[in-house]
Amino acid sequence: MKYILDTLTFLLWISNSAKLPPKVAEAIKSPGNAVFLSISSVREMQVKSLIGKVDLPAPVVDIVMRQSQENGIEMLPISLAHIVALNRIPNYHGDPFDYLIISQAIVEDMTILTNDPLITQYPVKTWW
């Protein structure tokens, strides 16, 4: 299975939060799954950390590199195809970071690991 993590899901994962359902944690850990984090999420965490909305235990780049090495979470860059696909989907909630993740999930045929009710309104596969 191919999954892309919503930013909040990634933050719950790195903090070992009890709010992350065990089945979602298992999907992230499973070696049979390909798990991706959008570069859009990296930027979102960076911005929110700078303005004090997210308290990260280390610089975001260090966190991402560690997760890549330890858990095989792959970075998903933003391609021109992802940008073009933005024109084909509605923008229900105006979050530019989520909007790009949704576009990437559609183009790459991935399931978004999220419990965000706004994301589930889009024509994209989600799981929680």
Read off the CATH number of the domain in which 117 is found. Answer: 3.40.50.1010
Count up the domains in the chain and report the number: 1
Question: Rounded to an integer, what distance in angstroms lies between the CA atom of residue 36 and that of residue 117?
Answer: 20
What's the average model confidence in pLDDT over 106-116?
97
Q: Summarize pLDDT for 23-58 with one digit per residue, the tens.
A: 999 999 999 999 999 999 999 999 999 999 999 999
Return the beta strands (E) in 78-124 as ranges.
111-113
In which domain, by residue range, is 121 found?
A: 2-127
Q: Which residues pair with 2 in a beta bridge?
A: 34
Question: Which residue type occupies 120?
Answer: T
Q: Do residues 124 and 112 make contact, with C-beta atoms less than 8 angstroms apart?
A: yes
Question: Rounded to an integer, what distance in angstroms lies between the CA atom of residue 5 and that of residue 109?
Answer: 13
State how far Cα 70 lies from the chain centre. Answer: 17
CA distances from 28 to 37, 67, 81, 88 (A): 11, 11, 26, 29
pLDDT at 92 over 90: no
pTM: 0.95
CA distances from 93 to 1, 37, 103, 104, 117 (A): 27, 21, 14, 17, 10
